[in-house]
Amino acid sequence: MRIFIRVTEVGNFSKTADEMSTSPSYISKQIAGLEKSLGTRLFQRTTRVLTLTEAGKSYLHHCQKIMEQLSAAESEMSELLGSPSGLLRVSMPSVLGNRASAMMCSAFLRRYPEIELDILVEDRFVDLIEEGFDICIRASADFPDSTLIYKHIGDLNIHLMASTGYLERHGHPEVASDLAEHPLISHRYAGSSTFDFEIGGKTESVKFERKVRVNSTAFVRHLVEQGEGVGFIPVSGQLDESVNLQSNLVTLLPDYQKGKITISMVYPERTYTPLKVHKFINFFEEWFQEYIGSW
């Protein structure tokens, strides 16, 4: 069944044989034996192309389900006998910071040395199923896909900030309405140039002049440091974007309520969730509460 599935994915016997370090004739014999045991042809063969028959398409669907269940059973048995292992593909947002994310992943690998990480730092909404990720850390309260499992982890504080040099040249805003005169360095995925600011139970809306949009939180921070405008910056004890590591950044409108970004873990709903996924979820939640959530 595994050989049959791989032949359908690769498209011919030779490539499948190369992957499995065997000969095309061995692959051909395995498929022929499978067809004989089933009493039907699975492929229509020409000199160049392999095409699934209707019976082949139906059998492939069943094989994929069986292999998924078998893989889950093997993983569960392996994990009962040992520690979590294997490749874990993770997508995470830039708002957590490269330094903080690297520290978190390093600590995770020290705890679970048999796990291999494949990490994508990306702020767009990654399609977990289509792109083959095991888990995604999302910096958003929007949950567009009801087929996924969402676990709320906590909130990340966001301050509106500017450099001391910029404020010396352009002055300190005293109230929210003053911000309309200051150019905004914003993240590309910020949906609007209008932001709400709360003080004393009242909400004030400000429409900014967006000077720069960029798809990187670190890039936003660097431009704000250079005095190009004001920007929303994550603030936390461990983030490399944090104010305590950037002495030239000043929080604007300190009397106003600070903004927050919702951090969630997202992963596919399946019959059996691998132990390595559960371990990463639990580890990240502990790490976030210790280093991020308390700020």
Domain co-membership, 139 together with 161: no
In this prediction, residue 241 carries a pLDDT of 43
Q: Is the full-model pTM beyond 0.75?
A: no
Domain co-membership, 124 together with 216: no
What percentage of residues in the chain have a pLDDT greater than 90? 42
Domain co-membership, 19 together with 68: yes
In this prediction, residue 286 carries a pLDDT of 93
- Across 75-79, average pLDDT: 68
Domain co-membership, 10 together with 45: yes
CATH number, domain containing residue 227: 3.40.190.290
Structure token digits, residue 133: 């990720």
In this prediction, residue 247 carries a pLDDT of 59
In this prediction, residue 261 carries a pLDDT of 87
Paired residues of 117 in beta bridges: 88
In this prediction, residue 79 carries a pLDDT of 63
Domain co-membership, 190 together with 218: yes
Domain co-membership, 130 together with 112: yes
CATH number, domain containing residue 11: 1.10.10.10
Final residue of a structural domain among 28, 43, 72: 72
- Asked if residue 115 is part of any domain, the answer here is yes
Domain co-membership, 15 together with 38: yes
Domain co-membership, 191 together with 209: yes
Non-local (6+) Cβ contacts of 263 within 8 A are 96, 137, 138, 139, 152, 153, 154, 155, 156, 288, 292
Q: Using pLDDT thresholds of 50, 70 and 90, give the confidence band for residue 244.
A: very low
- Asked if residue 97 is part of any domain, the answer here is yes
CATH number, domain containing residue 136: 3.40.190.10
Domain co-membership, 139 together with 219: no
In this prediction, residue 239 carries a pLDDT of 53
Structurally, how many domains does the chain consist of? 3
Q: Which domain holds residue 232?
A: 156-260
Q: Is the pLDDT of residue 38 over 90?
A: yes
Q: Is the pLDDT of residue 80 over 70?
A: no
Domain co-membership, 112 together with 90: yes
Domain co-membership, 164 together with 255: yes
Domain co-membership, 160 together with 248: yes
Give the integer Cα–Cα distance in Å for 211 and 139.
23
- pLDDT, one tens digit per residue, over 185-207 is 988 887 778 888 998 889 888 89
In this prediction, residue 246 carries a pLDDT of 47
Q: Are 157 and 258 in contact (CB under 8 A)?
A: yes
In this prediction, residue 182 carries a pLDDT of 92
Q: Using pLDDT thresholds of 50, 70 and 90, give the confidence band for residue 82.
A: low
